[in-house]
Amino acid sequence: MKIVFLEPLGLTVEAVERACEPLKKQGHEVVVYPDRKPELNIERASGADVVVESNMPLRKDFLDACPNLKMLSIAFTGLDHIDMEECRRRGIVVKNAAGYSTEAVAEETICMMIGLYRHVIENDKITRSCKGPSIAPGREIAGKTVGIIGMGAIGQRTAALAQAFGCKVIAWNRTPRQVAGVTFVDKETLLKESDIVALHIALNDETRNFLTAKDFALMKPTAVVVNAARGPVVNTLDLAEALKKGVIAGAACDVYDGEPPLNSDNPLLTAPNTMLLPHIGFATKEAFILRLGIVINNIENLF
């Protein structure tokens, strides 16, 4: 079978090809492209039985151009960029790389919490300008209540790290869970009691616009929001307005309604007290190596 990597998944082509040696020994053809070129996806996938990629949207036009396709091995956790209904209709197997970025995203979440509380970005700019005093005082996350929305693997790891920093952790989840040291509450209680609200829920019809103006109005004026889940789970306009009006104290986002680079008219760009990162929560060397192993294992299981 022909296996096509539409990108090298953050690694070198040589590293991916070495990891694919067992597949080659079984007689499979492996093609690894050295860069991400969404406009060339259809051309590059020509004749492929298996396609590997991370988060580039693959819709009906792509599937129409790949009649031999038997599997999409997605090097990503979420699958909202894949036309799942069309894949099911065509009998195309779709597997994600569940679990590869658990540690990476959880650590980034804590990073964003501390970054907001200690005004890291603002103080860096002041220092580099060689002008003015630092922004002070900052705040400590120790002793604060962290409310985690979504208690899958990443939410649970974030809870453990937050507890290690001395935080009280409360959580909301669609289905009940038992997690050590975590008290589960309803959504309204979480919003009212939390100093830091961290989002770790998947994007679907139920979670789109999960936080809107009415939700921000329930929160403490000193509270901050950290979104490392998916951009559309938070209403962008409402979040920007809540920040500008002082309804909440700050927000850190690594995800948006669409991939960075952001449009220049995105309201978060002019909202105060924000930390805006370019969707890098999953991007660590350790996570990339782990996900390549998961991707290849998914392909081997298909065969």
Other Cβ atoms less than 10 A from the Cβ of 92: the count is: 19
Sheet holding 71-74, edge to edge: 29-32, 2-5, 50-53, 71-74, 93-95
Is 162:106 a contact under the CB 8 Å cutoff?
no
Identity at 161, one-letter amino acid code: L
* Catalytic (active site) residue 259: yes
Is position 206 annotated as part of the catalytic site?
no
Of 59, 279, 291, 300, the active-site residue reads 279
Options 17, 107, 122, 259, the catalytic residue: 259
Is the bond leading into 137 cis (omega within 30 degrees of zero)?
A: yes
Please indicate whether residue 279 is annotated as part of the active site.
yes
Quickly list DSSP for 118-159: TTHHHHHHHHHHT-SPPP------TTPEEEEE--SHHHHHHH
Q: Are 144 and 116 in contact (CB under 8 A)?
A: no
User: Which of 118, 200, 230, 291 does the annotation list as catalytic?
Assistant: 230
- As given in the structure block, the two tokens for residue 121 are 């970005």
Task: Say what angle helices 285-302 and 102-117 make with each other, to 10 degrees.
Answer: 150
Active site residues: 230, 259, 279
